[in-house]
Amino acid sequence: MKLQRKGYDMSCNRIAFYLFYDEYGIVDDYILYKLEQLKKSVKTIFVVSNSDLDKKNRRKLETVADVVYCRENMGFDVWAYKEALELYGYERLNNYDELILMNYTFFGPIYPFEEMFDWSETKSVDFWGISDHKAIVPNPYTGEGELPRHIQSHFIAVRSNMFNSLEFKTYWETMPMITSYDKSVLMHESRFTNYFNSKGFEYDVYCNSTDYESHYPTFVDIKETLIKSRSPILKRRLFFHDPLFLDANCVDLKSTMNYIENNTSYDVNLIWDNILRSTEPRVLLTNAEHHKVFPDIQENAFSGEVKIAVIAHVYYPEMLLELEEKIDNIPVEFDLYITTASEESQKWLIEHLSVKRCNKVEVRIVEENRGRDISSLMITCKDVILTGNYDLILRIHSKKSSLSRKNNANYYKNHIYDNLLNSQGYVSNLLSFLENNRRVGICVPDLVHYGYPTLGHAWFSNKQKAKEIARMLDIKIKFDENTPHAAYGTMFWFRPEALRKLFLHEWKWADFEVEPCDADGTLADVIERLIVYTALDSGFLCYNISNLDSISKTYVKLEYKYQKIMSKLSDADVLHQCYNLDKNSDEIHSRDNEIQLLKLQHYKHITSLSWKLTAPLRRARRIITETLKR
Amino acid sequence: MKRIAFYLFYDNDGIVDDYVVHKLSALKDFVERIVFISNSPLSVESEEKIKPVSSDVIIRKNIGFDVWAYKEALQWFGDELNNFDEALFLNYTFYAPIFPFSELFAWSERDDIDFWGITDHKEVIPNPFTGAGVLPRHIQSHFIAVKHSLFKTEIFKKYWANMPNIESYEDSILQHESRFTDYFSRHGFKYDVYCNSSLYSSDYPAFININETIIHRCPILKRRPFFHDPLWIDRNAIDLQETLNLVNAGSSYDINLIYRNLLRTTKPKDLATNISLLKIFDSFDAPKTRKDIKIAVIAHVYYPDMISEILTQIENIPNSYDLYITTASKESQMLIKEFLTKSDGHFSNFQVRVVEENRGRDISALLITCRDIVLDYDYELICRLHSKKSPQNNPNQALHFKKQMYNNLVGSRNYVSKLINFIDSDENIGFVSPPMVHIGYPTLGHAWFTNKPGAKKIASRLNINVPFDDFAPYAAYGTMFWFRPNALKKLFEEKWHWSEFSAEPSHNDGSLAHIIERLLIYTANDCGYKCYNVMSSDMAEQNYSKLEYKMQRVMSNFSNGLVQEQVNRLQLGHAMDGTSYLSLNVKLVRVLKYHLASNYPNLSAKLRNPYKKCVRIYTWIQRKIK
């Protein structure tokens, strides 16, 4: 495709070097879309992949790229560009007027790239970029000197007089090996602009930081950059960056996403496809604010064109009445499946059951009393989910308060029931929300923290086992560090497709622990924590849902606890308070994170005083065991 | 049955609230003689209040807690007691009668018991006060009735005669409350409890299962849960909002008696947390508001270019209203007047005033320039807003702050209708403001900043006696809010002078404006008005997700998610503060202790006893040396 502009044809004269990296080597559609759109203005696209590719993904890239070059992940983006330029050959670049170095770290084009290229053609500069970062003193990477103002390396365009210059070649030839993220910023990203500018090459920026107050407008003033500068890019990092940073800077990602969805032609599903796979669920929940509060009054009448099933595990038949009352709040017709523990309860339930708007009732008996409500769902009701007869399913069960801490158990139960089925109006609002947001695959009540020490620790002892089960089910979600985004209490609304992976597995009764079993770390506890992960892994969004009363109560209690804790720390700047205590997840480092952590733990262990003091004992034991063997 | 009641009273400020009078007058139907014993001096007004409902008033020094108050009263009465069939020992620590006393006394009129009570506490092992032995099951001392068959005996007289001096709260529990029941039941006297703990799951039903006891028609409601440490209430998932709802719905007890007492005596933030004073409104539909509410909007518009924005927000008020604008200069006044004359807003009148001096920002403009509006014009509701630009913050932060204020006070027509209806539905709601901003601002837990000492001074000048929150004030941070003029009367009646406010540009923490910002809710609580935080459901979604994450992140750095435990530990570590009065040795030992306790739980358990012994030897040597 050729674009005729201002009497001359620029589209033929650009070449783009596109850096690709993905932990699993998966090429998401946002990359293809971006490259397809780019192709309208660029003649040749050279893709350098810093990650391994399988055949399928390579093919995918090859549909839009002219060259695909897959290399070892060495030297970060800098060496990828360096190698690609060298392989392609500087002399062959002579055929082009403009050279673009760009990468995978942003979604786009939110607005057509042509707008931006049109703008660039009016500028007689030697190089340009989409966005830049203001100068910072002192340089945060070195602690001294200045981090100069620089065009960000996710998109730099260089005109022929510059890339044909000796300086350009020297720049790349003398580039040292890059061994860390910091070094890549110091040696390339923050150096490039100043290096060439000080040698007589002029530059300009499309979305210029001088128009904004913050240092990094495309990260901090995102919505403004879209409206004011019509910036064509949205950084990926916004979704998985430390929420404390976003919080400190009041970055409003949610309203930006709403803006993109309602005012531009960019398909936000491209974003979710990639982000769901690569972001810790709780970080995503916080940054994108996937929390909905529904009132009890109905905004619009619910159309009702939806097939609903309710799957209830009623272990305690005496709780039937309470459950029925709640289930009656579903405003449309549905099928009801009940599982229970014994034949007597089955008989009793069939006799006493009276639910409004219920088409069909089936009462099943679980074969074995193990795995609580989880096994009854996974095994006894497997067919209900897998047949594909339903659009939406509500999972609920009779949650009995154990005698100790009755208040707490009661509160927990009400928290869940009320946030799933508060009133007819509430459920109508919830159903219309799900109707209008097909991407949302599961809705869960928010984490209960009133009366439960869950905050920051809700993995309890289930994380290791959850990782094993996730591997078994091929769930590749990034695991939350401290508290998984999960359906605590295992009651939730879901689309059957969202949890298919979980139900396709042949669970056996023997997999579950025999009752009574109060310990943490059972398979049931682990699956409880994997339900949301499964939905996210299947490409669905998960929303927390609350009613007005519940959210106001939990908000007050949460705020108080937070205030109390923070009042004992030197100030309320959480970012600063957490800074020394935990590490930020960084996509580039993430592969090594776990190994590093283990190494660090091991190191701490062997250098600890107690370990050193007990060293003679160990030596003695070793000598004894060795002599005994002999 | 002829009864005598010994009623113990104590209040820090010597004020007798209406709940006491109500309780005693209800009791009067069943009790011949009520002896009112006050452990605190009483104000003249209070004494007058108490006279019609009590036969004798004894005002004594606050010595020996409740125990010695009873002991002295019994001594004073001597043998006269024998004229009665039953003696009641009760105190001020509960609200009653939630359900008629007649039910209670009807139940108690039986011959098989010698003493009885309303609530009891289960046996606890080990005794939490001594760390060893048993805290026996006991009738709680807030209400113990003793029949003639017991109080005529020598054992009863001996019990009181041998009562040792009570020097602490623990003493009073060990020597009396937890001892009384066990002592007399060992001597063969029979007792029963109206609201029996054996029917409940917790040790202390009147506190922990408070809602169940109400459902079972327990006639009393303890005061303590409402002002107790919210972290403890949280850990035990006690739903006090529900308690008040239950009382309101199920009994004829006037719930405002409770509020009036609590508002005066409880730390505002603790109270707001315990009874969840936050309302979240959606903006789905538009309910009708009462047509004749007299509403005024008082807005400080320092930047005249912001009048258009602020007016669009104000126009979300569904009723007609009077608009008062204050601004800094004559020129601004001109511009604003011009704008308002041309605008098609639905305000009935407007006035644009110029502040006399440019100091104190929006606070002085409200308290001085608009004093007459609040005091003299009898508006029912006033909405306070100002043009917020916050040039000191980055634009994102300022934008969010503005959103937090405007969206939660005048967000949309539907939202404001619901907000107005909410305030209108309860004349005791005197003040509503958005929750404290926390996104982008390091406020939570530290919002006193340096203003607490100054605030205490001003509070005593205004005669505001509400206890102060320890770590963070319950405040209308940002000074935008809705209020009833009467709720802030004390603040407006004070004659403020321009010179008291800091001149620009030294508008810093510690200035009078910042202090008053933090005193607004204290003033309203002091006047007996409830103060709510209000939020729109959209803002709640945002605020909640961010707050939850922050909390998770902070808590993940501690050994578990038990907030109370972690706060206690941090408090220990807090001893290392430069400001702490402890000597360096003590500090070092504490840090070591903290370190051991958190990192080597097994080791520290083993070391505990030897450590205690060492401490004992150490203190013994110290004493010897002296």
Sorting pLDDT into bands at 50, 70 and 90, what band is A590?
very low
- DSSP 3-state of B411: coil
Angstrom distance (rounded) from CA A516 to CA A22: 45
**Whether the Cβ atoms of residue B242 and residue A414 lie closer than 8 Å to each other:** no
More confident: B430 or B111: B430
Selected for mutation to probe chain A from B276, B280, B580 (highest A CB count within 10 Å) is B280
CB contact under 8 A, A571 and B446: yes
pLDDT computed for residue A428 by the predictor: 94
pLDDT computed for residue A628 by the predictor: 85
Residue A10 has pLDDT above 90, yes or no: no
Does residue A105 belong to the interface with chain B, where contact is any CB pair within 8 Å? no
Neighbours of B359 (CB within 10 A): 20
pLDDT tens track for B177-196: 999 999 999 999 999 999 99
Q: How far B397 CA sits from the closest chain A CA (Å)?
A: 6
Q: Which two tokens stand for residue A409?
A: 């158990």
**Whether the Cβ atoms of residue A77 and residue A103 lie closer than 8 Å to each other:** yes
**Whether the Cβ atoms of residue B467 and residue B437 lie closer than 8 Å to each other:** no
Using an 8 Å CB-CB cutoff, list chain B residues near A238: none
Using an 8 Å CB-CB cutoff, list chain B residues near A214: 394-396
Pairing of strands B347-354, B278-281: unpaired
CB contact under 8 A, B439 and A410: no
Q: If we measure between CA atoms, which residue out of B243, B249, B201 comes closest to residue B223?
A: B243
Angstrom distance (rounded) from CA B534 to CA B423: 11
pLDDT tens track for A234-253: 999 999 999 999 999 999 99
Sorting pLDDT into bands at 50, 70 and 90, what band is A567?
confident
Q: Which two tokens stand for residue B371?
A: 């004093």
Taking CA–CA distances from A578, the nearest residue in chain B reads: B554
Using an 8 Å CB-CB cutoff, list chain A residues near B563: 453, 455, 561, 564-565
Q: Which two tokens stand for residue A114?
A: 């042509």
A548-567 vs B537-556: helix crossing angle, rounded to 10:
40
CB contact under 8 A, A574 and B550: yes
Q: Which two tokens stand for residue B45?
A: 């007004």
Alpha helix (H) ranges present in A353-405? 372-375, 382-386
Using an 8 Å CB-CB cutoff, list chain B residues near A432: none
Q: What percent of chain B has pLDDT over 70?
A: 96
Alpha helix (H) ranges present in B462-503? 489-493
pLDDT computed for residue B128 by the predictor: 82
Q: What is the DSSP string of A500-565?
A: HHHHHS---GGGSPBSS---SS-HHHHHHHHHHHHHHHTT-EEEEEEEHHHHHHHHHHHHHHHHHH
Neighbours of A214 (CB within 10 A): 18
Q: How far B271 CA sits from the closest chain A CA (Å)?
A: 11
Q: Which residues pair with A440 in a beta bridge?
A: A541
Spacing of C-alpha B168 from chain mean position = 24
DSSP A307: -
Using an 8 Å CB-CB cutoff, list chain A residues near B241: 553
Residues 455-474 of A with CB under 8 A from B: 455-458
Does residue A416 belong to the interface with chain B, where contact is any CB pair within 8 Å? no
CB contact under 8 A, A292 and B541: yes
Angstrom distance (rounded) from CA B299 to CA B362: 9
What is the sign, positive or negative, of the torsion defined by CA atoms of A148, A151, A154, A156?
Answer: negative
Residue B251 has pLDDT above 70, yes or no: yes
Mean pLDDT of all residues in B399-428:
95
More confident: A621 or A584: A621
Predicted complex ipTM: 0.87
Angstrom distance (rounded) from CA B185 to CA B194: 17
Using an 8 Å CB-CB cutoff, list chain A residues near B278: 552-553, 555-556
Q: If we measure between CA atoms, which residue out of B307, B204, B560 comes closest to residue A520?
A: B560
Sorting pLDDT into bands at 50, 70 and 90, what band is A592?
very low
Does residue A432 belong to the interface with chain B, where contact is any CB pair within 8 Å? no
Sorting pLDDT into bands at 50, 70 and 90, what band is B388?
confident
pLDDT computed for residue A589 by the predictor: 38
Neighbours of B26 (CB within 10 A): 18
Largest CA distance in chain A: 92
Q: What percent of chain A has pLDDT over 90?
A: 71
Mean pLDDT of all residues in A51-68:
95
**Whether the Cβ atoms of residue A128 and residue A151 lie closer than 8 Å to each other:** yes
Among partner residues B236, B439, B538, which is closest to A451 by beta-carbon distance? B236
Q: How far A351 CA sits from the closest chain B CA (Å)?
A: 30
pLDDT computed for residue B572 by the predictor: 66
CB contact under 8 A, A483 and B556: yes
More confident: B369 or A573: B369
Does residue A227 belong to the interface with chain B, where contact is any CB pair within 8 Å? no
Least confident of A323-337, A489-503, B125-139: B125-139
CB contact under 8 A, B277 and A250: no
DSSP A250: T
Using an 8 Å CB-CB cutoff, list chain B residues near A582: 553, 556-557
Angstrom distance (rounded) from CA A561 to CA A342: 43
Does residue A249 belong to the interface with chain B, where contact is any CB pair within 8 Å? yes
Using an 8 Å CB-CB cutoff, list chain B residues near A446: 544, 548
Containing B130, the helix (H) or strand (E) segment is: none
pLDDT tens track for B140-182: 999 999 999 999 999 999 999 999 999 888 889 999 999 999 9
Q: Which two tokens stand for residue B101?
A: 């006393």
The pTM is what? 0.87
Sorting pLDDT into bands at 50, 70 and 90, what band is B44?
very high
- E-strand spans in A92-202? 98-103, 106-107, 127-133, 150-151, 155-159
Residue A586 has pLDDT above 50, yes or no: no
**Whether the Cβ atoms of residue A195 and residue A170 lie closer than 8 Å to each other:** no
Using an 8 Å CB-CB cutoff, list chain B residues near A423: none
Sorting pLDDT into bands at 50, 70 and 90, what band is A225?
very high
Angstrom distance (rounded) from CA B140 to CA B121: 7
- DSSP 3-state of A370: strand
Q: What percent of chain A has pLDDT over 70?
A: 92
Mean pLDDT of chain A: 89
Angstrom distance (rounded) from CA B446 to CA B450: 9
Alpha helix (H) ranges present in A279-423? 281-287, 320-327, 343-352, 372-375, 382-386, 406-421
Does residue A213 belong to the interface with chain B, where contact is any CB pair within 8 Å? yes
CB contact under 8 A, B554 and A553: no
Spacing of C-alpha A98 from chain mean position = 35
Angstrom distance (rounded) from CA B555 to CA B566: 9
More confident: A615 or B412: B412
Q: Which two tokens stand for residue B89?
A: 């020992």
- The backbone region for B463, taken as left when phi is positive above 0, alpha when psi lies in -120 to 50, beta otherwise, is left
Q: What is the DSSP string of B342-401?
A: H----EEEEEEEE-SSSBSHHHHIIIIITHHHHHHS--SEEEEEE----TTS-HHHHHHH
Using an 8 Å CB-CB cutoff, list chain A residues near B537: 293-295, 548, 551
Mean pLDDT of all residues in B503-513:
81
Residue B237 has pLDDT above 70, yes or no: yes
Three-class secondary structure assignment of A56-70? HHHHHHHCCCCEEEE
Residue B297 has pLDDT above 70, yes or no: yes
Mean pLDDT of chain B: 91
Q: Which two tokens stand for residue A35?
A: 């490259």
Residue A9 has pLDDT above 70, yes or no: no
Spacing of C-alpha B462 from chain mean position = 20
Neighbours of A303 (CB within 10 A): 11
**Whether the Cβ atoms of residue B486 and residue B527 lie closer than 8 Å to each other:** yes
**Whether the Cβ atoms of residue A482 and residue A459 lie closer than 8 Å to each other:** yes
Does residue A44 belong to the interface with chain B, where contact is any CB pair within 8 Å? no
CB contact under 8 A, A247 and B439: yes
Q: Which two tokens stand for residue A455?
A: 């905050």
Angstrom distance (rounded) from CA B81 to CA A378: 72
pLDDT computed for residue B510 by the predictor: 85
**Whether the Cβ atoms of residue A48 and residue A18 lie closer than 8 Å to each other:** yes
Angstrom distance (rounded) from CA B337 to CA B330: 10
Angstrom distance (rounded) from CA B244 to CA B464: 26
pLDDT computed for residue B598 by the predictor: 66
CB contact under 8 A, A567 and B446: yes
Using an 8 Å CB-CB cutoff, list chain B residues near A561: 231, 234, 551, 563
Does residue A580 belong to the interface with chain B, where contact is any CB pair within 8 Å? no
Q: Which two tokens stand for residue A514?
A: 């025999």
CB contact under 8 A, B567 and A568: yes
Mean pLDDT of all residues in A348-365:
91
pLDDT computed for residue B592 by the predictor: 77
Residue A401 has pLDDT above 70, yes or no: no
For the purposes of burial, counting CB atoms within 10 Å of the CB of B2, is it exposed (0-12), middle (13-18) or buried (19 or more)?
A: exposed
